[in-house]
């Protein structure tokens, strides 16, 4: 009887030990499976903006201009889906009205090209300032600050007096970097064209021809007459920039007084984006 009782106790002990080991093993498996099945947040995408050397001019307080900021984003998911506001490192000469993210198709290696289109309007009556950074604010997480090159923003209330107007469109080509168009003396007096220039001193027009004659001295345009302009400009000093925006300005005399006529911006480089430009944007720093 005693030996049978001992056998039963030994059997129960073995069963209890086996049950404990089995429970511990299963509990361990359950914990491991739970860790492996956790849904981790997606890796944050990387945003790289193309670098500009551009000018923007407001000649009227009602005007709206656009910063067309080309970007390359790396990553499966786009954090720009959660973009709620943007700002620039200016001093209030202009203000942001609204923005739009135009996402392009995804290309190889989880990269996509897109445009961040930011509409801006004058925030002051006159002035000039240069901005070089954009701040991005998202629904969650910290804001990001990105370099965008340089935009020189000008508010010129007397910059468009319609003394000189464009006859049709004026054309800009890239990468040949030429500018040409037909313009008209829109006054009832002769005017004297002194020069064509771009407010951004880093990029200058050269080989300027007015009515096929070099504009190396003052040329008189009679009242109501049209004239043609052809010019080149040199971007060799801007090798670290991907896109360019120039403001053609005529300096002229009317009745002995000097005036300036600002025209709409001309943009270069947006139509020439290829694989080399994409990689350059990703690797550029400033």
Per-residue pLDDT reduced to its tens digit, 110-168: 889 999 999 999 999 999 999 999 999 999 989 999 999 999 999 999 888 899 999 98
Q: What percentage of the chain carries pLDDT values higher than 90?
A: 59
* Structural tokens at position 132: 């070089």
Give the pLDDT confidence score for residue 131 in this predicted structure. 96
Q: Which two tokens stand for residue 173?
A: 């080509």
Q: Is the pLDDT of residue 83 over 60?
A: yes
Q: Give the largest CA-CA distance in the chain.
A: 134
Domains and CATH numbers, the chain: 46-157+269-283 (2.60.40), 164-268 (2.60.40)
Residue indicated by tokens 């492996």 = 36
Beta bridge partners of 85: 137
Return d(Cα 195, Cα 216) in angstroms, integer.
8
pLDDT tens readout for residues 255-267: 999 999 999 888 8
pLDDT, residue 173, reads 64
With residue 182 as reference, give the H or E element that holds it. Answer: strand 178-185
**In 35-140, at which residue ranges do the beta strands (DSSP E only) sit?**
46-49, 52-58, 65-74, 83-88, 94-107, 111-122, 127-138
**Which DSSP string do the residues of 180-248 spell out, in sequence order?**
EEEEEE-SSS-EEEEEEE-S-TTS-EEEEEETTEE-SS-EEE-TT-EEEEEEEE--GGGTT-SEEEE--
Give the HSE-up count for residue 92: Cα atoms under 13 Å, Cβ half-sphere. 2
């Amino acid at each position: 009887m005693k030996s049978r009782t001992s056998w039963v106790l030994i059997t129960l002990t073995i069963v209890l030990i086996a049950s404990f080991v089995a429970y511990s093993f299963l509990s361990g498996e359950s914990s491991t499976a739970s860790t492996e099945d956790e849904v981790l947040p997606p890796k944050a995408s990387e945003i790289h903006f193309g670098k500009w050397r551009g000018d923007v001019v407001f000649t009227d307080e009602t005007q709206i201009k656009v910063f067309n900021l080309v970007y390359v984003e790396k990553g499966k998911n786009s954090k720009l889906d959660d973009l709620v506001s943007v700002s620039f490192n200016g001093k209030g000469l202009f203000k942001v009205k609204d923005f739009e993210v135009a996402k392009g198709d995804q290309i190889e290696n989880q990269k996509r090209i897109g445009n961040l289109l930011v509409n801006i309007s004058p925030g002051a009556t006159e002035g000039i300032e240069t901005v070089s950074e954009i701040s991005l604010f998202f629904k969650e997480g910290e804001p990001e600050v990105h370099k965008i090159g340089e935009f020189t923003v000008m508010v010129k209330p007397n910059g468009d007096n319609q003394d000189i107007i464009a006859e049709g469109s004026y054309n800009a080509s890239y990468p040949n970097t030429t500018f040409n168009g037909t313009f008209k003396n829109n006054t009832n007096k002769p005017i004297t064209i002194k020069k064509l220039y771009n407010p951004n001193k880093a990029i200058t027009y050269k080989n300027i021809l007015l009515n096929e004659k070099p504009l190396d001295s003052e040329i008189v345009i009679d009242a109501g007459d049209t004239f043609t302009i052809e010019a080149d400009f040199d971007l060799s000093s801007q090798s670290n920039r991907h896109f360019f925006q120039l403001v053609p300005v005529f300096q002229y005399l009317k009745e002995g007084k000097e005036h300036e006529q600002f025209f709409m911006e001309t943009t270069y480089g947006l139509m020439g984006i290829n694989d080399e430009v994409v990689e350059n944007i990703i690797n550029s720093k400033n």
